[in-house]
Amino acid sequence: MSSKAEVTGRIVELLQLVIASSVMTNERIARSMGVNVVDLQALGFIARSDEPMTAGEISQQTELPTSTTTRVLDRLEKQGLIERSTDPTDRRRVVVQVRRGAVAGAGQGGADDPYADILAGMRRVHERFTVEELEVIARYLDAVKDVR
């Protein structure tokens, strides 16, 4: 049986490999979409939000300076991936959301989804685990996602 330190070391090493692989995969996907990887990640934050977001909220979540966030949003809007609009509850605020149909099924596994192969591979891996094991993994990932 492994010690906690040994398992922790393996987890750290494996997470470093997962992160490196994810960075390279996201770079490839970003290029295929005609954007850079920072813009793709910002687009991901916007797409995962249930509500339209302000530039300030995007800047806060991405930890990008506001000036950089503005340039990212300008590029995404020029690409037709997002749209800016006036907040209906406060006309002084401008909010951003993914343009309908602009990111066809990203993360949903559809034919146009750049993540479809990854999602299919993850489904195959998940078949080897019980729901209870997957719950532990999800709980762990949720706990470490904000570690900086």
Query: Domain ranges in the chain?
Result: 1-33, 35-102, 104-148
Q: Which of 54, 52, 58 is nearest to 99 (CA)?
A: 52
Phi, psi of 99 (to 5 degrees): -70, 130
How far is it, in rounded angstroms, from Cα 54 to Cα 49?
11
- Tens digit of each residue's pLDDT (9 = 90 or more) over 74-85: 999 999 999 999
The model scores a pTM over 0.85: no
Distance of CA 87 to the CA centre of its chain: 24
8 A C-beta contact, residue 130 and residue 136: no
Amino acid at site 74: D
Q: Domain 35-102 falls in which CATH fold?
A: Arc Repressor Mutant, subunit A (1.10.10)
Mean pLDDT value across residues 93-103: 85
How far is it, in rounded angstroms, from Cα 96 to Cα 90?
14
- Tens digit of each residue's pLDDT (9 = 90 or more) over 36-93: 999 999 999 999 999 999 999 999 999 999 999 999 999 999 999 999 999 888 889 9
